[in-house]
Amino acid sequence: LIPLFVIIGSGGVGAALYVMRLAVFNPDVCWDKKNNPEPWNKLAPNDQYKFYSVNVDYSKLKKDRPDF
């Protein structure tokens, strides 16, 4: 039973760490509505907020949208 508890426990810890990463680094989540009500508008085109992107080099992206 020990390997079962280790595997299930590591899966639970991994899931909790991923949810914590989403809550802290995702641009869709706003913790401070008074000072930064729309954090998704402050993203630069070369900011990577996805966990893993297969074929995209974010350092070479150019801005193709207007400033608001």
Model pLDDT for residues 14-29, shown as the tens digit of each residue: 999 999 988 888 777 7
Q: Taking a C-beta distance cutoff of 8 angstroms, is the pair 50, 28 a contact?
A: no
Rounded distance, CA 39 to CA 62, Å? Answer: 19
What pLDDT, on the 0 to 100 scale, is given for residue 16?
97
List, in sequence order, every beta strand (DSSP E) within 1-68. none
Find out whether 22 and 29 touch, Cβ atoms under 8 Å. Answer: yes
**Eight-state DSSP code of residue 39:** G
Q: For the whole prediction, is pTM greater than 0.85?
A: no
**Low-confidence stretches of the chain (pLDDT beneath 70):** 44-53, 58-59, 61-68
Give the separation between CA 11 and CA 34, rounded to whole angstroms.
36
